[in-house]
Protein backbone atom coordinates (compact mmCIF):
# COMPACT_ATOMS: atom_id res chain seq x y z
CA UNK A 1 0.00 0.00 0.00
CA UNK A 2 2.75 2.43 0.96
CA UNK A 3 4.71 1.56 -2.19
CA UNK A 4 1.68 2.33 -4.36
CA UNK A 5 1.24 5.72 -2.69
CA UNK A 6 4.93 6.47 -3.13
CA UNK A 7 4.76 5.54 -6.83
CA UNK A 8 1.72 7.73 -7.42
CA UNK A 9 3.34 10.68 -5.63
CA UNK A 10 6.56 10.25 -7.63
CA UNK A 11 4.60 10.05 -10.91
CA UNK A 12 2.76 13.27 -10.01
CA UNK A 13 6.05 15.03 -9.28
CA UNK A 14 7.62 13.84 -12.54
CA UNK A 15 4.60 14.83 -14.62
CA UNK A 16 4.62 18.32 -13.08
CA UNK A 17 8.18 18.83 -14.32
CA UNK A 18 7.32 17.55 -17.79
CA UNK A 19 9.67 14.63 -17.27
CA UNK A 20 8.59 11.03 -17.40
CA UNK A 21 10.07 7.78 -16.12
CA UNK A 22 10.82 5.36 -18.97
CA UNK A 23 12.52 1.99 -19.15
CA UNK A 24 16.27 2.54 -19.38
CA UNK A 25 17.09 -0.27 -21.80
CA UNK A 26 14.12 0.34 -24.10
CA UNK A 27 14.86 4.07 -24.31
CA UNK A 28 18.56 3.50 -24.99
CA UNK A 29 17.92 0.90 -27.70
CA UNK A 30 15.33 3.09 -29.40
CA UNK A 31 17.61 6.12 -29.24
CA UNK A 32 20.65 4.30 -30.60
CA UNK A 33 18.99 2.37 -33.42
CA UNK A 34 15.95 4.51 -34.32
CA UNK A 35 17.08 7.90 -32.98
CA UNK A 36 17.17 9.53 -36.40
CA UNK A 37 13.39 9.04 -36.63
CA UNK A 38 12.74 10.30 -33.09
CA UNK A 39 11.16 7.06 -31.88
CA UNK A 40 12.76 7.48 -28.44
CA UNK A 41 11.14 10.91 -28.11
CA UNK A 42 7.71 9.50 -28.95
CA UNK A 43 8.34 6.71 -26.42
CA UNK A 44 9.16 9.24 -23.69
CA UNK A 45 6.03 11.29 -24.43
CA UNK A 46 7.76 14.24 -26.08
CA UNK A 47 5.64 14.31 -29.22
CA UNK A 48 6.78 17.73 -30.50
CA UNK A 49 10.45 16.74 -30.36
CA UNK A 50 9.61 13.42 -32.02
CA UNK A 51 7.99 15.26 -34.91
CA UNK A 52 10.98 17.57 -35.17
CA UNK A 53 13.34 14.59 -35.36
CA UNK A 54 11.05 13.03 -37.98
CA UNK A 55 11.05 16.19 -40.10
CA UNK A 56 14.85 16.28 -40.18
CA UNK A 57 15.46 12.53 -40.46
CA UNK A 58 16.84 13.01 -43.99
CA UNK A 59 20.02 14.57 -42.58
CA UNK A 60 22.45 12.99 -40.14
CA UNK A 61 21.92 15.41 -37.24
CA UNK A 62 18.98 13.64 -35.50
CA UNK A 63 20.77 10.31 -35.86
CA UNK A 64 23.91 11.63 -34.21
CA UNK A 65 21.93 13.30 -31.41
CA UNK A 66 19.85 10.16 -30.90
CA UNK A 67 22.98 8.02 -30.65
CA UNK A 68 24.48 10.38 -28.06
CA UNK A 69 21.22 10.44 -26.06
CA UNK A 70 21.17 6.65 -26.09
CA UNK A 71 24.71 6.44 -24.75
CA UNK A 72 23.89 8.99 -22.02
CA UNK A 73 20.79 6.98 -21.09
CA UNK A 74 22.91 3.88 -20.59
CA UNK A 75 25.06 5.73 -18.05
CA UNK A 76 22.13 7.17 -16.06
CA UNK A 77 21.35 5.60 -12.72
CA UNK A 78 18.12 3.56 -12.89
CA UNK A 79 15.64 3.15 -10.04
CA UNK A 80 14.58 -0.19 -8.58
CA UNK A 81 12.20 -0.80 -11.50
CA UNK A 82 14.86 -0.12 -14.15
CA UNK A 83 13.41 3.27 -15.07
CA UNK A 84 15.19 6.56 -15.71
CA UNK A 85 13.78 10.07 -15.82
CA UNK A 86 13.92 11.74 -19.23
Spatial separation of the C-alpha atoms in residues 35 and 44, rounded to whole Å: 12
| Crossing angle of the two packed helices 61-75 and 24-34, in degrees rounded to 10 | 160
Is 0.85 topped by the overall pTM?
Answer: no
Q: What is the pLDDT of residue 18?
A: 72
Q: 37-47 pLDDT, tens per residue?
A: 999 999 999 99
Q: What is the pLDDT of residue 19?
A: 83
**Is the CB of residue 31 less than 8 Å from the CB of residue 73?**
yes
**Residue partners of 64: CB distance under 8 A and separation at least 6:** none
**Residue partners of 23: CB distance under 8 A and separation at least 6:** 82, 83
Amino acid sequence: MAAEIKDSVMQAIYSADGKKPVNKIAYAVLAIFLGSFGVHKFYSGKIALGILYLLFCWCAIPGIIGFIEGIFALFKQADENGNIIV
